[in-house]
Amino acid sequence: MKKYLISLFIIILALEIGISARAKNFEISVREESFDIAVNSKSAPWNTATNKSKDFSFKTKKHDTQASPTILKVKPGDNLTIQYVLGDVYADRKGYPARKTDADGYPKTMPTYVGHLPSFYINDQINHMALVGTFADSKGVIVGSPFFIGNGPVNLIVPEGSEQLQLGINDNLFRDNSGLFIVKINMSN
């Protein structure tokens, strides 16, 4: 009987002072998006003029037709999954079958031009013509470290200070490339 009276007293007290046993509802906004984007074989993974400490440009008398990176707007904390879907790229123009590859690239046993490839700043064992990327701020300055994607999937969290995902090809002479990769990007917050 004593336990019953104590329980009843607590209930009455709770009702008197306005304590509510009801749960509060919280709204949580979850954003999930999926994109298929094309990465041109002439796309460099980052702009070397903006990122002079990560220069991989092949210096020639002829102007190289390096395209800007393929850029996707992102927000810090976004979760990304990046995966190659289809497509091939060629170094030394289409029709040279030994230089045709998917996003994993072809082994470095094939000769490349003198100088660094973008992979020099990631892992020098990454294949030539592989798909690589980096995060960057709104001006294209690299945030964090560039990374290998290849055929994927690769799961990443967008670091603080990043506003762009930049994708491109692991090469240092772009004017003779052809083809493209189709890449799927799943994004959620």
Q: How far apart are CA 137 and CA 6, in angstroms?
A: 62
Count of beta carbons in the 10 Å neighbourhood of residue 73: 11
Judge: domain 31-188, CATH 2.60.120.430. yes
Q: How far is CA 66 from CA 47, 59, 143, 163, 164, in A?
A: 9, 12, 21, 22, 19
Torsion of Cα atoms, 42 then 120 then 105 then 57, to 10°: 20
Q: What is the pLDDT of residues 92-136, one digit of tens each?
A: 766 677 778 999 998 765 555 567 889 989 986 899 899 999 999
Domain boundaries along the sequence of the chain: 31-188
Q: What is the pLDDT of residues 138-187, one digit of tens each?
A: 999 999 999 999 999 999 999 999 999 999 999 888 888 889 999 999 99
pTM to 2 decimals? 0.79
Q: What is the structure's pLDDT at 91?
A: 83
Q: For residue 188, name the pLDDT band (cuts at 50, 70, 90).
A: very high
